[in-house]
């Protein structure tokens, strides 16, 4: 069987140069200093190791004047007060910030820095978050960082911007990043995009990579001209399983892997290959810079510069149940968190054990107050187990079943299933109702949000309604001897359409004016090809999620199977 590719790359076919390691990077920057007084700004995404940049890059340039931009910002207590409404007192949820980075700098300090720069006669280097705000740079270097790496640094003791919170709960650090820090950085990055002279990849400590701004922009433009995959990452969970270890060749000594993110541009990265240098950039950069080409004008006009479809894996093989949960209704997520759409989703069962099940919807004729009281009792008293069988339906699950989960539906994946989760992107807004009495991997109780949850549980999503509307709502679209197309969902209240294709020979598909997200759900490998020769053939393997930019219009998929009698399975998702 062809192996799941853990390191998918986009090979950039035209570039001027790429540099790895600080000595080569410094040498290249020096070549671009063409006048005695030159201002270099190294703008850092929050989370970048600025001490590393100072020691290895700034000091190596030997500037006449060196300014650390972070020192000109307000201190952490002032910033925290300024964004208090966004951070809230909750451990997980905040409210989206609409502020800009410049609002967090002291005007007096900026003025003094400007005077110092004006008086300098030689090389001036400004570095850190906000460096580009201090002065107009002759050379602008953007030091970028992936979201997943930000989160890993939080867990390892890294701090948020301007605060000393090494020992703070990583969930709270992540909340501050998600609702505030990443938002202000992304807004500035978008504004700087056409001005960037060099892009600096800082994801691996002490192993930087650099490309020119023109080559960076060209690399992104090439990505929307072809199929591509995001860089996957995998994470353990209290309910995590063992299936992905074998199927995706992961660390066999790890306790478990519960999560796999390989189709979430908000979280994942892109690998851009420039000769012998591989550069990692946040996939969100592509969404922000080429929304019409990637998403399609219709989807872009509806969602803005947001990628609305998410694919990820949940592995509970030899593990435990997911948490019992519900996602917020649209008006609730808008009112409480500043999001304009919610997390409708579905569970596509990629694999299942004999006892596999999915919890979905509530039992007929239950009372919400009774359910909430039992949820609270279970949360407060460790000896009390929530009687899930009294309130929640449990349906058997088998391979290739599809369970639809519009917001407001109580749900939970059971043990011994592998779920391909197909959903809308606001992934962070999950209200856990009951977590089977477990402690998180960090030793802390897992966050439960019964008060939020009770406002969003729809009692009409009950047993018979769920059976009739949410389980295997599969409709035949077309069928011949070599290809069968089925509509598998999602529910009419959800904006994502999913089509399942069984094929033995080449088929042609259309993007239908939307970005397409696909996964190879059965079979060894397939070849994705252009109908007009506009992109090179692209090979995908079992379990891999891949993207087809909307602008490609049409594309072909051909099975690469050893046995010609075997049908290949593909699931395709797009915005209706």
Domain end among 469, 499, 529: 469
Residue 236 lies in a domain: no
Report the run of H or E that residue 336 belongs to, with start and end: helix 330-337
For residue 190, tell me if it sits in a domain.
yes
In a domain, 254, yes or no: no
The Cα–Cα gap between 233 and 241 comes to: 15
CATH code, 208: 3.40.50
In whole angstroms, give the CA distance from residue 219 to residue 535.
Answer: 14
- The neighbouring-strand residues paired with 573 are 498, 517
Going from the C-alpha of 332 to that of each of 153, 342, 409, the distances in angstroms are: 32, 9, 14
pLDDT in tens, 427-445: 678 999 999 988 877 777 7
- Please say if the pLDDT value at position 143 is more than 80: yes
Shared domain for 394 and 482, answered yes or no, is no
Q: Would you say residue 8 has pLDDT above 60?
A: yes
Cα–Cα–Cα angle for 102, 105, 110, nearest 5°?
105
Q: What's the pLDDT at 338? A: 85
Work out the angle at residue 296's Cα, subtended by the Cα atoms of residues 292 and 302, and round it to the nearest 5 degrees. Answer: 95
Using the predicted structure, report yes or no on whether residue 140 has a pLDDT greater than 90.
yes
The tokens describing 82, both together, are 């300024």
Same domain, 501 and 369: no
Task: Let me know whether 187 and 41 are in one domain.
Answer: yes
Q: Decide: residue 567, CB within 10 A, 0-12 exposed, 13-18 middle, 19+ buried.
A: middle
Residues 460 and 506 in one domain: no
Contact 272, 12 (CB under 8 A): yes
Question: Which of 295, 520, 499, 319 lies closest to 420, judged by CA?
Answer: 520
Tokens, residue 464 = 């018979």
Are residues 420 and 530 both part of a single domain?
no
Asked which of 410, 442, 469 is the last residue of a domain, the reply is 469
| Mean pLDDT, rounded, of the chain | 95
State the CB neighbour count (10 A cutoff) for residue 167: 7
Q: Could you report the per-residue pLDDT of 318-376, keeping only the tens digit for each?
A: 999 999 999 999 999 999 988 888 989 999 999 999 999 999 999 999 999 999 999 99
**Tokens at 394, concatenated:** 């449990």
Q: What are 473-487's pLDDT values in tens digits?
A: 999 999 999 999 999
Residue from 294, 306, 283 nearest 96 by CA: 306
Q: How far apart, in whole angstroms, are the C-alpha atoms of residue 309 and residue 306?
A: 9
3 domain-assigned: no
- Asked whether residue 544 falls in the same domain as residue 417, the answer is no
pLDDT of res. 564: 52
User: Based on the domain organization, do 107 and 143 belong to the same domain?
Assistant: yes
User: Residue 548 sits in which domain range?
Assistant: 475-575
How far is 59 from 30, CA to CA, in rounded Å? 13
pLDDT reported for residue 478 = 97
In this structure, is residue 249 part of a structural domain?
Answer: no
Residue 274 in domain: no
**464 and 525 co-located in one domain:** no
Contact indicator for 488, 571 with CB cutoff of 8 Å = yes
Q: Is the pLDDT of residue 66 over 80?
A: yes
Supply the pLDDT for residue 341: 87
Distance CA 456, CA 544 (A): 33
Residue from 33, 24, 32, 34 nearest 57 by CA: 24
| 57: in domain | yes
**CATH no. for residue 526?**
2.60.120.10
| Burial profile 362-394: b = 16 or more Cβ within 10 angstroms, e = fewer | bbeebeeeebbebbbebbeeeeeebebeebbbe
Measured distance CA(61)–CA(56) in Å, rounded:
9
Is the domain of 123 the same as that of 205?
Answer: yes
Q: Is 189 in the same domain as 327?
A: no
Cβ atoms of 125 and 58 within 8 Å: the answer is yes
User: Do 488 and 436 share a structural domain?
Assistant: no
Q: Do 341 and 454 have their domain in common?
A: yes
Measured CA to CA, the distance from residue 49 to residue 40 in angstroms comes to 18
Domain boundary among 198, 223, 248: 223
Neighbours of 576 (CB within 10 A): 11
**What pLDDT is stored for residue 565 in this prediction?**
65
Domain membership flag for residue 105: yes
CB 433 within 8 A of CB 387: no
pLDDT at 562 over 60: no
| 77 has pLDDT over 60 | yes
Q: What's the total number of domains in the chain?
A: 3
The pLDDT tens digits of the residues spanning 259-274 come to 999 999 999 999 999 9
pLDDT tens-digit series, residues 208-263: 999 999 999 999 999 999 999 999 999 999 999 999 999 999 999 999 999 999 99
Q: How confident is the model at residue 18 (pLDDT cuts 50, 70, 90)?
A: very high
């Amino acid at each position: 069987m062809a192996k799941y590719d853990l390191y998918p790359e986009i090979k950039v076919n035209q570039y001027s140069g790429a540099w790895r390691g600080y000595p080569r990077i410094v040498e290249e920057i020096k070549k671009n200093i063409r006048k005695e007084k030159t201002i270099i700004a190294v703008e850092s995404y929050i989370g970048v190791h600025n001490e590393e940049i100072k020691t290895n890059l700034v000091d190596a340039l030997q500037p006449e004047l060196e300014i650390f931009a972070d020192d000109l910002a307000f201190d952490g207590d002032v910033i925290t007060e300024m964004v208090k409404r966004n951070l809230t007192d909750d451990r997980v949820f905040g409210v989206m910030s609409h502020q800009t980075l410049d609002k967090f700098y002291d005007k007096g300090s900026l003025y003094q820095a400007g005077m110092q720069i004006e008086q300098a006669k030689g090389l001036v280097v400004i570095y850190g978050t906000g460096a580009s705000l201090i002065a107009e740079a002759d050379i602008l270097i953007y030091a970028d960082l992936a979201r997943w790496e930000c989160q890993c640094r939080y867990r390892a003791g890294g701090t948020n911007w301007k605060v000393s919170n090494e020992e703070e709960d990583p969930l709270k650090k992540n909340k501050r990043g998600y609702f505030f820090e990443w938002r202000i950085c992304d807004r500035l990055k978008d504004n700087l995009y056409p001005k960037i002279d060099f892009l600096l990849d800082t994801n691996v400590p002490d192993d930087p990579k650099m490309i020119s701004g023109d080559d960076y922009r060209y690399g992104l433009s090439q990505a929307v001209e072809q199929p591509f995959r995001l860089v996957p990452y995998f994470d353990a969970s209290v309910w995590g399983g063992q299936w992905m270890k074998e199927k995706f060749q992961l660390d066999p000594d790890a306790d478990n892997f519960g999560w796999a993110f390989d189709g979430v541009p908000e979280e994942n990265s892109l690998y851009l290959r420039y000769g012998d240098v591989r550069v990692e950039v946040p996939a969100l950069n592509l969404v922000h810079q080429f929304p019409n080409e990637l998403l399609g004008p219709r989807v872009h006009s509806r969602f803005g510069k947001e990628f609305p479809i998410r694919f990820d894996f949940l592995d509970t093989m030899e593990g435990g149940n997911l948490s019992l949960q519900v996602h917020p209704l649209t008006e609730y997520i808008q009112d409480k968190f500043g999001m304009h759409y919610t997390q409708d989703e579905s569970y596509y069962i990629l694999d299942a054990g004999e006892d596999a099940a999915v919890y979905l919807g509530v039992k007929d004729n239950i009372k919400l107050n009774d359910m909430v009281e039992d949820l609270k009792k279970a949360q407060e008293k460790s000896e009390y187990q929530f009687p899930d069988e009294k309130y929640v339906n449990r349906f058997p699950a088998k391979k290739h079943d599809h369970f639809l989960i519009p917001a407001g539906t109580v749900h939970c994946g059971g043990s011994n299933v592998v779920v391909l989760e197909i959903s809308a992107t606001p992934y962070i807004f999950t209200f856990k109702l009951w977590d089977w009495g477990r402690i998180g991997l960090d030793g802390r109780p897992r966050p439960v949000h019964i008060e939020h949850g009770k406002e969003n549980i729809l009692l009409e999503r009950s047993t018979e309604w769920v059976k009739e509307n949410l389980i295997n709502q599969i409709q035949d679209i077309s069928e011949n001897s070599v290809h069968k197309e089925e509509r598998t969902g999602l529910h009419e209240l959800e904006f994502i359409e999913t089509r399942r294709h069984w094929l033995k020979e080449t088929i042609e598909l259309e993007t239908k004016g939307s970005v397409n997200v696909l996964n190879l759900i059965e079979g060894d490998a397939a070849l994705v090809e252009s109908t007009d020769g506009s992109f090179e053939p692209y090979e995908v393997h079992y379990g891999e999620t891949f993207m087809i930019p909307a602008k490609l219009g049409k594309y072909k998929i051909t099975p690469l199977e050893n046995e010609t009698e075997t049908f290949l399975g593909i699931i395709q998702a797009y915005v209706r």
